Chain A
Amino acid sequence: MAIERHVPSLCNYAMFCAGCGHGVLLRLICECLEEFGQEKNTIAAIGVGCSCHLKSGINCDLVQCPHGRAGAVATGIRRAEPEKFVFTYQGDGDAYNIGIAETLNAAYRNENICVFVVNNNNFGMTGGQMSWTTMEGQVTATSPHGRDIALTGAPIKVPEMIAHSFHPAYVARGAVSTPKEINRLKGYIKNAFQAQLNHEGYSMVEVLSTCPTNWNMDPLKAHQHLMENVVPYYQLGEFKKRGE
Chain B
Amino acid sequence: MGDMIKGNIAVAEAAVRAGIEVYAGYPITPSTEVMEYLSDRLPALGRTFIQAESELAAINMVLGVSACGRRVLTASSGPGISLKQEGISYMAQMNFPCVILNVVRWGNGLGSLDGAQTDYLRETRGGGNGDYRNIVLCPSTVQETVDLMYEAFDIAEKYRCIVVVMTDSGLGQMMEPCEMPPFREIKKCDWGLDGTYKVKRADFLGRNIPGESEEYIRKVRAMRDHEQRWETYGAEDAEYIFVAFGMCGRVMNGLVREMRAAGEKVGLLRPITAWPFPEKAFEVLREKNPQLKGLITVETNGEGQMVEDVALYAKKCGLGHLPVYALPYACGVPKDDVVKADFEKIRAGKIKEVF
Contacts and interface: CB of A to CB of B under 8 A. Distances in A.
Interface string B75-112: 00000000000110010001000000000000000000
Contacts of A183: none
A138 interface: no
A149 B167 CA distance: 48
A40 B196 contact: yes
A226 B194 CA distance: 38
Contacts of A105: 52-53, 57
B193 A43 contact: yes
Contacts of B52: 72, 105
Contacts of B67: 43, 63, 73, 76-77, 80
Given A42-B195, A65-B63, A80 B57 contact: no
Given A79-B50, A101-B54, A55 B63 contact: no
Contact of B65 (A41, A60, A80): A80
B86 A66 contact: yes
B334 to A, nearest CB: 39
Which residue among B50, B57, B60 has the maximum number of chain A CB atoms within 10 Å of its CB? B60
Given A43-B68, A73-B63, A76-B24, A56 B202 contact: yes
Contacts of B53: 101-102, 105, 108
A79 B195 contact: no
B70 interface: yes
Contacts of B48: 79-80
A105 B56 CA distance: 12
B204 A76 contact: no
A18 B57 CA distance: 35
A72 B56 CA distance: 8
A112 interface: no
A103 to B, nearest CB: 11
Given A66-B86, A75-B50, A75-B64, A61 B197 contact: yes
Interface string B27-67: 00000000000000000000010101110111011111111
B201 interface: yes
A115 B228 CA distance: 44
B203 A72 contact: no
A58 to B, nearest CB: 9
A175 interface: no
B201 A73 contact: no
Interface residues of A, number: 37
Nearest to A79: B48
Interface in A14-42: 15, 40-42
B65 A76 contact: yes
Contacts of A181: none
Contact of A76 (B61, B86, B194, B195): B61
B197 A60 contact: yes
Interface in B182-198: 193-197
B51 to A, nearest CB: 10
B22 interface: yes
Given A73-B63, A101-B54, A61 B86 contact: no
A72 B83 CA distance: 14
A80 B96 CA distance: 14
A192 interface: no
A142 B68 CA distance: 39
B195 A41 contact: yes
A73 B68 contact: no
Nearest to B91: A66
A143 interface: no
B21 interface: yes
A15 B21 CA distance: 37
A76 B86 CA distance: 16
Contacts of A40: 195-197
B205 interface: yes
B80 to A, nearest CB: 15
A43 B50 CA distance: 20
A202 interface: no
Interface string A213-243: 0000000000000000000000000000000
Given A80-B48, A80-B67, 9 more contacts: A43-B68, A56-B201, A63-B67, A63-B94, A69-B86, A73-B67, A76-B63, A76-B72, A77-B67
- Nearest 5 interchain pairs by C-beta: A76-B64, A72-B60, A56-B203, A76-B61, A72-B57
24 contacts: A10-B197, A43-B193, A55-B201, A55-B202, A55-B204, A56-B204, A56-B206, A59-B197, A63-B63, A64-B204, A66-B63, A66-B87, A72-B63, A73-B64, A75-B50, A75-B61, A76-B60, A76-B66, A77-B65, A78-B64, A79-B50, A81-B195, A101-B56, A102-B53
Interface of A: 10, 15, 40-43, 45, 52-53, 55-56, 59-66, 69, 71-81, 84-85, 101-102, 105, 108
